Chains A and B, each alone.
Chain A
Amino acid sequence: MTAIAMPTPSGPTSTGPASGALRPAPRTTSIVTSTAQVAKRALLRYFRTPQLVVLGTLQGALFLLIFRYVFGGAVDIHGASYVNFLVPGFVTTGVLFTGQGAATGVADDLQQGFVDRLRSLPVPRSSFLVGRAMADTVWCAWGLLTAIAVGLAVGFRPHGSALGDLAALGLCVVFGFAFEWLFLVVGLFAGTPQAAQGMAFLVFPLTFVSSAYVPVSTMPGWLQAFAQHQPITYMVDAVRALTLGPTGAATLGHTAGYFTFWSLIWAAGIVAVFAPIAAAKYARA
């Protein structure tokens, strides 16, 4: 039989709850603490679920292997080996797949009542979205590192300067952060985790109509027009230009600076569009 003890009250105020004693003026918990707690919870969800960590890495590795060894022979890149062409594309688009976890996570938080509890607590309203965005970006960075490890294992060799390689990595994190807001919006509107996953998965075909896995010039004209100008192409090519070294980058048609500039514009644009939508939806939901 479970014994329910009669305890002495402990907590921030030493006077009893219903004694009518004066309560301190309403204070809201600091934004730092609130977002840190939300972020910590989201990260623990990811890292303490071994299936997520293992399966995610395995899936990614499998894909990379298929593209590298099965398609590698069929695709002809001038001036670079396919693996050096492919891996930047793979790693960059990898951030879009970790983003799916964000969408599902948000939908789950809404459905399971965590957001309700958070809203009934004296925390700043932005805590949830900011905390989640931080945690998801960290998770995305982890995904990047594992993807790079797999890439190196199958023969990827970056030729860029050390600074260039680091810049490429930093760019990927920025892209992850930007798309995170798109996925937060998906999660907020989806209604259930399953719907969120489905909707987030629609990103998948989008990554193919880009320069991620094949040069855009190999696509039919009408598709090329779209692929040429979509944000993923700019992002992938920026990473590529920074890691392929000067000779490889020359085949891309523009300088690393050019691609970096436009990819950052796109990233800023994505955040500028989706962050307010996310905030508005969260406020109303």
Chain B
Amino acid sequence: MATATIEARGVTKRFGKTTALDGLDLVAEPGQVVALLGPNGAGKTTFVRAVATLLPLDGGELIVAGHDARREPAAVRQIIGLAGQFAAVEPVMTGRENLEMVARLFGQGRRVAKRSAAAVLEQLGLEEAANKPVRTYSGGMRRRLDLGASLVGDPRLLVLDEPTTGLDPRSRNELWDAIRALVGRGTDVLLTTQYLDEADQLATHIVIIDHGKAVASGTSTELKRRVGGRVIEVHARTREDLPAVANALGRFDRAGPQVDEATRKVSVGVDDAENWLSLALEAMEASGADVDDITLRQPSLDEVFLALTNGN
């Protein structure tokens, strides 16, 4: 059996009085894209920094591809590539120069570094702009170059901290495509994100973090199923209909209906047992409210997330 890419047991990190990581457990197997999901301050960035050997830990065990991150940081640095929140590329240097520099820092000789840089530039679609200074690049191109810098060393594990924050939708998709291609090639990925759709789209394995602990983990589908049951969502025709709809649906849910005024949607969580859709239709007719649409669906990752972290 291949070694796990990451094995974290009881990882603890304190900054002064704040406990950023409070006994976090996590296992990432080879071939996975693991997304860490959590509110701000949950400890996601702290954890990835620890994996990238940027932080000493106060407790616990952290093994990256078989190497103890606390005792053998040099070994870990050989096999990881890091792309942080800011695109850490030098604006006055060209894309090619940036990548060659990082390749040299990986210990590659001059000719090998040139080849690695060229390969990555081609891989990420940056060949045309390769010889132009990075300050002429768009935000999306910079992020891709930053991703490239984490790739020139041919890493086993790519560590990405909020890779698409602040990008427009098209650049986001381009970056997602690039990441998917990497995964196809066999690179494992650990990423943090605050975008639930990003976790949903990219990750094969999601770990929900809150207050420095792993609260839940699994595939997107498993997590949704774990929250239990399905969701009935009614799209009211006008805002005035909302109270009537909410009232009618309120009977179905243990927790009470969620009303979104902006989209005029009311949703309730229901279990799988009964034929909720027809019950809901009856309730709508009885209430006399005007309704545009009724759906019975899986919970969204949004709802999973809120459900699993709301207790705190």
A interface, CB within 8 angstroms of B: 2-13, 16-20, 23, 26-30, 33-34, 37, 40-41, 44-45, 48-49, 111-114, 116-123
Contacts and interface: CB of A to CB of B under 8 A. Distances in A.
A4 B125 CA distance: 6
B106 A121 contact: yes
Interface stretch (B70-78, B233-241, B267-275): B70-78
Given A5-B122, A23-B79, A33 B88 contact: no
B105 A33 contact: yes
Contacts of A3: 125
27 contacts: A4-B123, A4-B174, A4-B177, A4-B181, A6-B181, A11-B116, A11-B152, A11-B153, A13-B154, A16-B185, A17-B154, A17-B187, A20-B2, A26-B77, A26-B78, A27-B78, A33-B107, A37-B101, A40-B101, A44-B90, A44-B93, A117-B82, A119-B54, A120-B53, A120-B54, A121-B102, A121-B153
Interface string B242-273: 00000000000000000000000000000000
B88 A114 contact: yes
Interface residues of B, number: 58
B153 A113 contact: no
Interface of B: 2-3, 30-31, 49, 52-54, 72, 74-75, 77-82, 84-88, 90, 92-93, 97, 101-102, 104-108, 112, 115-116, 119, 122-125, 133, 149, 152-156, 159, 174, 177-178, 181, 184-188
B101 A9 contact: no
> By CB atoms of chain B within 10 A, which of A3, A11, A45, A49 has the most?
A11
A48 B97 CA distance: 13
Contacts of B79: 17, 23
Given A12-B106, A17-B187, A41-B93, A117 B84 contact: yes
Contacts of A8: 119
A10 B119 contact: yes
Contacts of B80: 120
A18 B88 contact: no
Contacts of A17: 79, 154-156, 185-187
B149 to A, nearest CB: 7
Contacts of A37: 101, 104-105
Given A18-B31, A120-B159, A122-B78, 17 more contacts: A7-B119, A10-B119, A11-B116, A11-B152, A17-B186, A18-B187, A20-B3, A20-B30, A26-B78, A27-B78, A29-B106, A41-B101, A45-B92, A111-B86, A119-B54, A120-B80, A123-B105
Q: A-B pairs with the 6 shortest C-beta distances?
A: A11-B154, A113-B88, A26-B75, A18-B186, A29-B107, A48-B92
